[in-house]
Amino acid sequence: MESPAVVARGLTKWFGDGETRTFAVREASFEANYGELLYLVGPSGSGKTTLLSMISGILTPSSGNVTLEGKDIWKMSSTDLADFRLHKLGFVFQDFHLFPRLTTAENVAIPLILQRMPWDKAIDVAEKFLEIVGLPNKGALPPIKLSGGEQQRVAIARAIAPHPDILILDEPTASLDGDTGRRIVEFVKQEILTPTSCIIIVTHDSRIFEYADAIMTMEDGRVTGIKRTGTE
């Protein structure tokens, strides 16, 4: 537990080549500590999603490295990385990636089942987390029967149900009304954040700023600052 939960060093991502090369993220270096809820803020297009995709093992960096729980994830084999992601990471991306042919509860249960929790127990846990995000009695429905905001809450339930060590939420309250967003972030901070876990949230939502332990800013692909608030 000596090293920080997340360490990024010189992380850079460009798209295209030659004349058309554009940098989405340039030389991003930062650390996120255990027990910390870190907010990432910055204008649209500043590279937040690209940065978090590299941190989550989804998008290969052009250069730089990412160390999670002391392991350089981009040096792992793809099977080891997939296994690491399954057991250690939770994330919600801006498009929710729900499986259309599964029920809402099955969607939430998937990571638990992949972690070898028995099916019935996983569905019970899924139903509990659907209730926590304010969707009781929706477990049997397919995602298509839910509104955008409800689908976002299903994606949040799926990410938090396994109590991941590293939880990454990309604009998780964008489609939610203020009260719901606040309640969910409050729950995540109280129940999911522990001294051995770490949460990174991208948000523009000033209504939930009070829960931050640290705020990191990005502009034009660069990390421009990180301020630790020291609040619990």
Provide the binding-site residues for ligand ADP, judged by CB under 6 A: 15, 24, 42, 44-50
Please state the closest distance from residue 141 (CB atom) to Mg ion, in A: 28
CB of 200 to ligand ADP, least distance (A): 13
In this chain, which stretch among 15-23, 45-53, 74-82, 223-231 interacts with Mg ion, using CB under 5 A? 45-53
Question: Environment class of residue 9 by beta-carbon count within 10 Å: exposed (0-12), middle (13-18) or buried (19+)?
Answer: middle
Q: Which of residues 127-186 bind Mg ion (CB under 5 A)?
A: none
Nearer to Mg ion, 49 or 103 (CB): 49
Any contact of residue 53 with Mg ion (CB under 5 A)?
no
Q: Residue 42 or 162: which CB sits closer to ligand ADP?
A: 42
Sheet holding 22-32, edge to edge: 22-32, 6-15, 63-68, 71-72
CB 55, min distance to ligand ADP, A: 12
Rounded to whole angstroms, the Cα distance separating 108 from 126 reads: 5
Question: Which listed option, Mg ion, ligand ADP, none, makes contact with residue 47 (CB within 5 to 8 Å by class)?
Answer: ligand ADP
Compare residues 43 and 136 and give the one whose CB is closer to ligand ADP: 43
The CB-of-52 to ligand ADP minimum distance in angstroms stands at 8
Note whether 46 binds Mg ion by CB under 5 A: no
- 49 contacts Mg ion (rule: CB under 5 A): yes
Interaction of residue 203 with Mg ion, rule CB under 5 A: no
The footprint of Mg ion on this chain (CB under 5 A) covers a number of residues equal to 2
Question: Binds 20, which of Mg ion, ligand ADP, none (CB < 5 to 8 A, cut-off by type)?
Answer: none
* Residue-wise burial string across 141-170, b where 16 or more C-beta atoms lie within 10 A, e elsewhere: eebeebeeebbbbbbbbbbbbbebbbbbbb
Of residues 48 and 189, the one with the C-beta less far from ligand ADP: 48
What are the C-alpha distances in Å from 209 to residues 48, 112, 139, 192, 206? 17, 30, 31, 17, 5
